[in-house]
Amino acid sequence: MMNLIQSITSKVPSLPLFATSESRQASGAAEAGTSTGISGTSGTPGKEKAGKQLRMETRDLTVRYGSTVGVKNVSLPIYDNQVLALIGPSGCGKTTYLRALNRMHDLTRGASVTGSVLLDGKNIYDSEVNPVIIRRRIGMVFQKPTPFPTMSIYDNVVAGLKLVGIRKRSVLDVVCERALKQAALFDEVKDRLKSPGSSLSGGQQQRLSIARALAVGPEVLLMDEPTSSLDPQSTSRIEDLIHELKNQVTIVIVTHNMQQAARVSDNTAFFYVGDLIEYGPTSTLFTKPKETRTEEYITGRFG
Amino acid sequence: MKTLLQRNIRDRIMESLLVLSTIVVLLPLIIILVHVVVNGISALNWDFFTQELGSPSRALQGRPTGLVHTILGTLVVDFLALFLAVPIGFGAGIMLSEFPDHKLNPTLRVMNDTLNGMPAILKGLLAFVLIVKPMGTFSGLAGAVALAFVMIPIIARTTESALMSIPWSIREAGLAIGLPRWRVVLSTVMPAARFGLVTGTLIAFARAAGEAAPLLFTSFGNNYLPNHWLGMLLGPVDTLPQRLYSLAISPYSHWHSMGWAAAIVLLVFVIVCFGTARYLTRQKH
């Protein structure tokens, strides 16, 4: 197994495929030596797992669409191997904030981002940073499942590897199986990996999207209301998944469902009309909110 | 309040009107097909597909004559035109659809529409200036370039709309797993739009295959097969629409029926292309 890990990681130095915290450090170190990663990756976490390690951080992050401001001066820490939930009423900037974390706004017409988003201490909006590399390290799962329509289940999962030139069947097979298992989909689809991704049910398609995001070995996973179009059973499967995944990746999840935020997250940030109102450990925020607006929202008085 | 009977009658009337308009749309097509086949079928024989046309006296003396050089010439010129037009047309279509904010796009759009609306004979003239004049001879290459000018704006436009019909979320999903922009377009958006892309290309191909005007002073026409296969590209070459025209205006009745037969071949050519492509795109799904 170790040989295999080495063969994969040496083939794909920029992809930390095996995302246990030890091997991530190892591959992170390997990455610092290559030109593909962010130059001078410095934020190597300490050896002890005890304390909270800062993985990402935003400083005075502001996103504008033309002259409208979507998110105003948001500064938030995102801790390693923890789940951060973003809650708030519709149109409050949660998704806008989330999309700024892996430079998805680069392609939105008229959108501009100011302030900084640090990944391991390095601003991902610096001019020399390649957004493609950033998006391999910070994956994203969208509100609606988006399997690539012409691809099989297998090809969907390995798309992020295959389409950048990794064609070795043995490598892809391993990655596909591991990603599907992580996404709790493997048992349901193992006998029909060749059938189209669009033939799956909605909940399965969403787990396929998660598997596809995990297959490239991201360090951070952004989830934009991943369960909003799913039935309760699929929702609970995905919540279980988040619990399992957080040992391996750092997760930021946008949700409309406050029970969900309370169930899955370690920390919660409450947004309202583009402002970050309150941030804190989930247990504290839901039981003893400091701000009255937070209290009003979580007790269902508005939103 | 109308009775149920009245509403049923109305429904029937509307339905018959729809059927009627469908028939009106299809009628010209049926008339053309029947007329062409009735007039041309007698001239479709073995000689038609194996012999050259030669001089009018061949037909008058009852010696074998046919249009093999025309059919081969059409294949060479049309497919060369397609080969030239598809990369450029797809490229322009991708540019219009995937990079809508690019500063060159408004110009590209206007120029593409102008080229699309430009009379085909002017495209022939353009190819004449670009290829025939420097080469010093009419050629299949010049004909192909002229037909490529017919195809490019159509392919660009249909490519643009085919790609635009693919939801933006597919592109974001591709970007989110760390694929570069061009790879997202090539491997996720274009396969999803393949039906539209193939259909658009075929519409362009069928349009160009039926054009005679751009070929009159580019590929020019030829009554004989060239001695060497390169002669198809570097010398004057016959094509079906232009041969159909010159047969039709000739004073020989034998040539007239060959003209009808040429029309049958042209129609079959276009229909077969459409059929194949539809079959191929269905299979994959």
Give A22-82 as a DSSP string.
HHHHHHHHHHHTSSSS-TT---PPPS-SSSPPEEEEEEEEEEEETTEEEEEEEEEEEETT-
pLDDT for res A234: 84
- Give a yes or no: residue A287 inside a domain: yes
Residue closest to A252 by CA, chosen among A219, A285, A287: A219
Give the pTM. Answer: 0.81
- Give a yes or no: residue A10 inside a domain: yes
Q: Which residue of B has its CA nearest to A152?
A: B285
In angstroms, the CA B1 to CA B14 distance is 19
- Give a yes or no: residue B96 inside a domain: yes
- Give a yes or no: residue B192 inside a domain: yes
Q: Do B169 and A150 touch (CB under 8 A)?
A: no
pLDDT digit string (tens) for B172-198?
999 999 999 999 999 999 999 988 899
| Residue B11 clears pLDDT 70, i.e. is over it | yes
Which of B23-27, B78-82, B98-102 bottoms out in mean pLDDT, i.e. has the lowest? B98-102
- My answer on whether A145 and A262 are in the same domain is yes
| Closest partner CB to A135 (pick from B176, B188, B191) | B176
- My answer on whether A255 and A113 are in the same domain is yes
- Give a yes or no: residue A169 inside a domain: yes
Q: Which residue of B has its CA nearest to A99?
A: B176
pLDDT digit string (tens) for A253-269?
999 888 999 999 999 99
Please say whether the beta carbons of B59 and B255 come within 8 A: yes
Task: Calculate mean pLDDT across residues B231-247.
Answer: 93
- My answer on whether A147 and A252 are in the same domain is yes
- Give a yes or no: residue A107 inside a domain: yes
- My answer on whether A5 and A99 are in the same domain is no
Residue closest to A14 by CA, chosen among A133, A122, A159, A160: A133
Question: A20 pLDDT band (50/70/90 cuts)?
Answer: very low
- Give a yes or no: residue B171 inside a domain: yes
pLDDT digit string (tens) for A228-247?
888 888 889 889 989 999 88
Question: How do the residues of chain A divide into helix, strand and coil, expressed in percent and rounded to 5?
Answer: 40, 25, 40
In DSSP terms, A194 is beta-bridged to: none
Q: Write out chain B residues lying below 8 Å of A146, CB-based.
A: 169-170, 172-173
3-state secondary structure of A251: strand
In angstroms, the CA A73 to CA B109 distance is 39
| Residue B169 clears pLDDT 80, i.e. is over it | yes
pLDDT for res B166: 93
Q: Write out chain B residues lying below 8 Å of A148, CB-based.
A: 170, 173-174, 188, 191-192
| Residue A295 clears pLDDT 70, i.e. is over it | yes
Residue type at A74? V
- Give a yes or no: residue B255 inside a domain: no
Q: Can you give the CATH number for the domain in which A147 is found?
A: 3.40.50.300
What is the CA B168 to chain-centroid distance, rounded? 31
- My answer on whether A108 and A159 are in the same domain is yes
Q: Name residue, tokens 């994956």.
A: A139
Task: Calculate mean pLDDT across residues B2-27.
Answer: 94
- My answer on whether A147 and A23 are in the same domain is no
| Residue B146 clears pLDDT 90, i.e. is over it | yes
Q: Name residue, tokens 């009423």.
A: A89
Q: Name residue, tokens 């998110």.
A: A71
Residue closest to A59 by CA, chosen among A128, A117, A130: A117
Give burial (CB, 10 Å; 0-12/13-18/19+) of A165: exposed
- My answer on whether A126 and A261 are in the same domain is yes
- Give a yes or no: residue B78 inside a domain: yes
- Give a yes or no: residue A252 inside a domain: yes
| Residue A40 clears pLDDT 60, i.e. is over it | no
Give burial (CB, 10 Å; 0-12/13-18/19+) of A198: middle
Residues 38-97 of B with CB under 8 A from A: none
- Give a yes or no: residue B60 inside a domain: no
In angstroms, the CA B151 to CA B115 distance is 10
Q: Name residue, tokens 């081969």.
A: B72
Please say whether the beta carbons of A236 and A226 come within 8 A: no
| Residue A203 clears pLDDT 80, i.e. is over it | yes
- My answer on whether A8 and A70 are in the same domain is no
- My answer on whether A114 and A206 are in the same domain is yes
Q: Write out chain B residues lying below 8 Å of A136, CB-based.
A: 177-178
Question: B211 pLDDT band (50/70/90 cuts)?
Answer: very high
Measure Cα distances from B197 to A50, B94, B162, B192, B277 in Å.
Answer: 56, 11, 6, 10, 11
For residue B96, the enclosing domain spans 68-238
In angstroms, the CA A272 to CA A69 distance is 13
| Residue A49 clears pLDDT 50, i.e. is over it | no
pLDDT digit string (tens) for A70-82?
999 999 999 999 9
Q: Can you give the CATH number for the domain in which B100 is found?
A: 1.10.3720.10
- Give a yes or no: residue A145 inside a domain: yes
- My answer on whether A190 and A95 are in the same domain is yes
Q: Write out chain B residues lying below 8 Å of A141, CB-based.
A: 176
- My answer on whether A25 and A106 are in the same domain is no
For chain B, how many structural domains are there in total? Answer: 1
For chain A, how many structural domains are there in total? Answer: 2
Question: B227 pLDDT band (50/70/90 cuts)?
Answer: confident
Q: Do A148 and B188 touch (CB under 8 A)?
A: yes
Q: What percent of chain B has pLDDT over 90?
A: 78
Q: φ, ψ for residue A222 (rounded to 5)?
A: -100, 130
In angstroms, the CA B43 to CA A208 distance is 60
Burial B17-40 (b: 16+ CB within 10 A, else e): eeeeeeeeeeeeeeeeeeebbebb
Q: φ, ψ for residue B101 (rounded to 5)?
A: -95, 0
Starting at the edge strand found earlier in the chain, the sheet holding A111-119 runs A68-79, A54-65, A111-119, A122-123
Q: Give the H or E element holding residue B274.
A: helix B253-284
Q: Do A104 and B194 touch (CB under 8 A)?
A: no
Tokens of A164: 């950048």
For residue A1, the enclosing domain spans 1-32
- Give a yes or no: residue B102 inside a domain: yes
Q: Write out chain A residues lying below 8 Å of B180, CB-based.
A: 132
- Give a yes or no: residue A271 inside a domain: yes
Average pLDDT over chain A reads 83
- Give a yes or no: residue B212 inside a domain: yes
- Within 10 angstroms of residue A34's Cβ, the number of other Cβ atoms is 11
| Closest partner CB to A216 (pick from B177, B183, B191) | B177
